[in-house]
Amino acid sequence: MRHSTRLKVLNNSTTKCFNRLRNEANFAIGLRGDRQVEVAMCRIALDSLNTWNNFCRSYFLCGSIGSRRISGPTMTCNITGQTMEQSIEEAIIAVRPSGTLRRVAAGGKWSRKEEPKWYVDHSFRRVCQAAGFSNLADIENSFSAGYGVFIYLPVFRNYYAHRNEETLRKVQSIAPHYGIPATRRPSLILLTPPIHRPQPLILEWLDELTFTADYLCH
């Protein structure tokens, strides 16, 4: 997923990724073997968060080069004209000013680990605010719906990446928020529809990510 001078390009590629993940999730619903379900849902959870993380990073870079929104206006900010590396540097400084010392110690190069956690909504909003994005009000509004995916998907990601009793308890504690029994396995929690909702939780979350990306790009 790369940044572009038109947010429509970024939005289309992001939507394509989320649609693929939706198809994989729908396929996983029909799987019978526990191991098959675990493998499928692990991949879907990790890819979902990675896709969102890449979208946010690319969106920031789009803003830094003055990309055109789908609705017509061009994004402006106070870091336009910088290289991609310089723009990322501004983002790093916004979330961790002490990173400047590590950069000097490393010979002037940033470590990818020093980049913001783009998928964390308050980190993303912070770097956009620091860069002076002209559509900052829309960026803030895009997260005002209170979608649970931004809080809970990273918890599932951590479970699949580091399976232990602690991460298991954390994901199972999420289930009651959606009217789902906490005794279910994490993968089955994702494949269970929340109370009064017609589709599994993972599909709800993919919709929330898709809607937010679409709003940001418009």
Residue 68 DSSP symbol: B
Residue 59 lies in a domain: yes
Rounded Cα–Cα distance for residues 18 and 209 (Å) = 8
Residue 98 lies in a domain: no
Q: Token digits for 130? A: 């620091």
The pLDDT tens digits for 128-159 are 999 999 999 999 999 999 999 999 999 999 99
Amino acid at 124: F
Residue 83 lies in a domain: no
pLDDT band at 101 (very low <50, low <70, confident <90, very high): low
The pLDDT tens digits for 188-203 are 999 999 999 999 999 9
Residue 102 lies in a domain: no
Residue 171 lies in a domain: yes
Rounded Cα–Cα distance for residues 36 and 34 (Å) = 5
Rounded Cα–Cα distance for residues 202 and 179 (Å) = 14
How confident is the prediction for the chain on average, in pLDDT?
Answer: 93
Amino acid at 87: S
Residue 91 lies in a domain: no
Rounded Cα–Cα distance for residues 1 and 60 (Å) = 12
Residue 210 lies in a domain: yes
Residue 24 is part of which domain span?
A: 7-78+116-217
Residue 189 lies in a domain: yes
- Number of structural domains found in the chain: 1
What is the pTM for the complete model shown?
A: 0.94
